[in-house]
Amino acid sequence: MKFKLTSLEKKWVLYDVGNSAFTLLVSTIMPIYFNYLAGKEGISDVDYLAYWGYAVSLSTILVAVLGPTLGTASDIRGWKKKIFLGSLLVGALGCVALGFMRSWIWFLLLFVIAKSAYSVSLVIYDSMLSDVTTMERSDHVSAHGYAWGYIGSCIPFLLSLALVLGYETLGISMELAMGIAFLLVAVWWVAMTAPLYAAYRQKHYQNKSDHPVRACAGRLKGVFLELGKNRKVLFFLIAFFFYIDGVYTIIDMATAYGTALGLDTTGLLLALLLTQIVAFPAALLFGRLSSKVAAQKLILVSIAAYFLIALYGIGLSSQYQFWILAVCVGIFQGTIQSMSRSYYARIIPPEKSGEYFGIYDICGKGASFMGTMLVSWVSQLTGSVNWGVGALSIMFLLGFFFFLKAHGTNGQEAEAWETETVGEIGH
């Protein structure tokens, strides 16, 4: 039977289409523009990659603090939409402002703010999953989000790419072309968010308190204490901390990596566009497979694939090898992200989704400072960006080990937790 999304699920998926445009901008055009600004001031290729990595790391450290705090606050009745809108507007306005930056250091500082706001919006967005669908449909809906996000983001990306690559033909400066491209992405992001913002209603929530700050701090502390009693969730988060770190590092630094190797800019951008195109059917295919194959097995296969991808990066030196890398990443990128999100949503209490997804984001985007720092440090230590990327294999190896520990935790605590969660979703 063909799977059909409900109206609300479609609107939820649209936010993936919107925010993915910013993700693609960050991983493709934005580092190229930063390289252009840095190059004008004599920054070397190795230092350019390192500074970009440090900026990404600073952003994720900020999200590690803001994510669980604002995620917990979003669980209060009526607060989720407000925090969601606030983070969206800061991210979108920051994206527009980046197009007007001419100093590489000010560009990096504003980038940190915009990317942090974007990541906070994803904490809230992911926590909405239990409000827009049921546990049984969550794998499919999550997969559709990533799949349509990949293909939908290609529309503003292609328009931006035409501007950036054809600015001379259009008779405008590169700086103006970049400014228009950043504005285009911001408008797309906000426009794709509007349907969800209008239709979303918070079904699972915590009641308001006379002392909301104290209450939020207490609930966040309680969630961390609960993790100590539920080894399945705890081991999953540890595993996620490691393997998704490697995934996000590859996403964030792919263009910077290729540029530092001296590969052709146009070829790099087209290869990363191919990643988005390949990721679309791959995410939908694995979403369908999730009804026949356990999500846990699909996640393990994806982790193993990324381990091999990181090792492949050690010997990468030519354009065609980067294209092979792009295709391999495209096949497994959507799967590992969507299956992880829906699997986690099934094993946590829905009325505490904001709190738990705040922690999820610490272990996800908030953890990617380790990967980017590792790539930056090893690259500068060895003088080779190849070894920096290859070092990410360690993250996938650790992620695989801890996910096996989580999957092997079938005790009464984990089963009771899942049963309780199923019951709460049904109410």
- CA–CA gap between residue 141 and residue 136 (Å, rounded): 10
- CA–CA gap between residue 238 and residue 121 (Å, rounded): 22
Residue whose structure tokens are 């520990």:
405
Residue 172 burial (10 A CB sphere; 0-12, 13-18, 19+)? middle
Which structural domain range is residue 137 located in? 7-200+212-426
Mean pLDDT to the nearest integer, 99-104: 88
296 close to 396: Cβ distance less than 8 angstroms: no
Percent of the chain's residues with pLDDT above 90: 25
CATH number of the domain where residue 66 is located: 1.20.1250.20
Structure tokens at 358: 């705040």
pLDDT interval class at 218 (50, 70, 90): low
- Of 180-184, 202-206, 232-236, 387-391, least confident by mean pLDDT is 202-206
Q: Is 205 helix (H, G, I), strand (E, B) or coil?
A: coil
Q: Is residue 1 part of a domain?
A: no
> Residues near 188 by Cβ (< 8 Å), separated by ≥ 6?
18, 21, 155, 156
Answer yes or no: is pLDDT of 367 > 60: no
Q: Is the dihedral of CA 332, 409, 349, 424 positive or negative?
A: positive
Which residues pair with residue 206 across a beta bridge? Answer: 76
Most confident of 64-68, 315-319, 397-401: 397-401
Most confident of 30-44, 130-144, 171-185, 244-258: 171-185
Q: Is residue 207 part of a domain?
A: no
Instruction: Return the half-sphere exposure (C-beta side, CA atoms, 13 A cut-off) of residue 398.
Output: 16
CA 385 to chain centre: 23
Structure tokens at 63: 């999200």
Answer yes or no: is pLDDT of 149 > 60: yes
pLDDT interval class at 183 (50, 70, 90): very high
Buried (b) or exposed (e) across 53-68, using 16+ Cβ within 10 A?
A: bbbbbbbbbbbbebbb
* pTM for the model: 0.73
Residue 76 DSSP one-character state: B
Alpha carbon dihedral 30, 311, 336, 226, in 10-degree steps, equals -100
Q: Is residue 49 part of a domain?
A: yes
Q: Is residue 206 part of a domain?
A: no
pLDDT interval class at 138 (50, 70, 90): confident
Residue whose structure tokens are 């609300």:
8
Please state the domain count of the chain. 1
Answer yes or no: is pLDDT of 366 > 60: no
Q: Is residue 13 part of a domain?
A: yes
pLDDT of residue 11: 95
To 10 degrees, what angle do helices 80-98 and 7-27 make? 30
pLDDT of residue 364: 72
- CA–CA gap between residue 316 and residue 300 (Å, rounded): 25
Alpha helices in 75-135 (DSSP H): 80-98, 104-127, 129-132
Listed residue (52, 25, 37) closest to 260, CA to CA: 52
Answer yes or no: is pLDDT of 421 > 50: no
CA 63 to chain centre: 12
Answer yes or no: is pLDDT of 413 > 70: no
CA 181 to chain centre: 21
Answer yes or no: is pLDDT of 157 > 90: no
- CA–CA gap between residue 6 and residue 125 (Å, rounded): 17
pLDDT interval class at 422 (50, 70, 90): very low
- CA–CA gap between residue 422 and residue 307 (Å, rounded): 33
pLDDT of residue 209: 61
Q: Is residue 252 part of a domain?
A: yes
pLDDT interval class at 207 (50, 70, 90): low
Mean pLDDT to the nearest integer, 194-222: 73
Answer yes or no: is pLDDT of 213 > 70: no
Q: Is residue 2 part of a domain?
A: no
Which residues pair with residue 76 across a beta bridge? Answer: 206
Q: Is residue 205 part of a domain?
A: no
- CA–CA gap between residue 388 and residue 110 (Å, rounded): 26
Buried (b) or exposed (e) across 213-244, using 16+ Cβ within 10 A?
A: eebbeebbeebeebeeebbbbbbbbbbbbbbb
pLDDT in tens, 323-364: 888 888 889 988 898 888 888 888 787 767 777 877 787 777
Structure tokens at 213: 């700050």
pLDDT of residue 2: 63
Mean pLDDT to the nearest integer, 212-216: 59
